Amino acid sequence: MKFLTFERGGCRAGLVINERIYDVENSASFLHLESEYSSDLISLIRTREIGELKSLARQLKDLDRGHEELPLQCWASIDEVELHAPIPRPGKIICLGLNYRDHATEQNAKIPDNPLLFVKASTSTTGHNRPIVIPDGSTKVDFEAELAFVIGKEVKGAGVNDAHSAIFGYTCMNDVTEREMQRGDRQWFRGKSPDTFAPMGPYIVTVDEFGDAGGVSVSSRLNGELMQLSSTSNLIFTPGDIIKFVTRTMTLEPGDIISTGTPGGVGVFRDPPVFLKDGDTIEVIVDGIGTLSNPVVAQASLEK
């Protein structure tokens, strides 16, 4: 299943079937399902079992195959609506540094013994086709293509089985980074957290459809030019490893985002360095999910 969040008088949880977005709350109401379905994706993940969501998807697919028209409040064409980040305000956005062997190699860094964690502010999220805004005075804004996953249930002290079963699904993420802030502050939070610096989407693809995230291609393109290309087979720590490590000391909750790190090829380590600028388009591509595309706009351009 593919879930997203789209704009229709506010944020609405949607289920994608054949290039249509089905409004989950309104579609469930139309089908007279006994349980209420929220318009908020975190609430859906928290309150509805995966089997219930699969049942809803099957019923909507049957209607779609039969060309039965639902009321307009139940669906929208995917190219006619604006998309938000699938989880517009996650409780936590946890990211990893140095989690691809090729990324460690390009900066002559030692392979870490444990996951290197940092966080981005939840207000840094944005969606597919929405602009990444370069702050005034910033000249070293970098791109980082990543595979991220969404936590589906509360978990603490996860073992092997708990770790994998805690994942609801996977999405694309761009861990946009202001390198001067990152290095000047000697810690990463501010440089990772400007507004719009965590584009995600377009979809969350559930685990039953996406699989275990092994051997998946992750890449980025800047203005159509390939910049990064690797595979999750190069991950140092797998999603299961990461969950086990994180939940030793903190509780993960439904809707929390964990981004698994970026492969080699980021702008700062190129010769010469390549940074995002006004007018660029940056894409993150993950096989099995799709393409997350964002235009780049300078703050000064927005204020004209």
Beta-bridge partner residues of 206 = 169
Percent of the chain residues topping a pLDDT of 90: 87
What's residue 69's pLDDT?
76
pLDDT at 301: 83
Question: Which tokens hold the place of 3?
Answer: 């879930």
* Straight-line distance from the first to the last Cα atom of the chain, in angstroms, rounded to the nearest whole number: 41
Residue 67 has a pLDDT of 61
- Interval 134-163: pLDDT, tens: 999 999 999 999 999 999 999 999 987 789
Statement: residue 255 has pLDDT above 80 = yes
118: pLDDT strictly greater than 80: yes
**Domain spanning 93-302: which superfamily?**
Fumarylacetoacetase-like, C-terminal domain (3.90.850.10)
Going by pLDDT thresholds of 50, 70 and 90, the confidence category of residue 304 is low
pLDDT tens across 50-93, in order?
A: 999 999 999 999 987 766 778 889 999 999 999 999 999 999 99
Average pLDDT over residues 178-199: 96
What's the count of helices (H) and strands (E) in the chain, helices before strands?
A: 10, 18
With cut-offs at 50, 70 and 90, classify the pLDDT of residue 1: very high
Any idea what the Cα angle at residue 111 is, between residues 110 and 114, rounded to 5°? Answer: 125
The answer to whether residue 262 scores a pLDDT higher than 80 is yes
Select the more confidently predicted residue: 69 or 190.
190
At residue 108, the pLDDT reads 86
How far is 269 from 228, CA to CA, in rounded Å? Answer: 12
Sequence ranges of the chain with CATH classification 3.90.850.10? 93-302
pLDDT of residue 302: 84
R_g over Cα of the chain: 19
- pLDDT band of 264, cuts 50, 70, 90: very high
Count of other CB atoms within 10 angstroms of residue 27: 24
Region 253-266 average pLDDT: 97
Q: For strand 132-134 and strand 20-23, is the pairing parallel, antiparallel, or unpaired?
A: unpaired
Which DSSP state fits 82? -
Q: Which of 158-162, 175-179, 268-272 has the lowest mean pLDDT?
A: 158-162
Structural contact between residues 120 and 141, judged by C-beta atoms closer than 8 angstroms: no
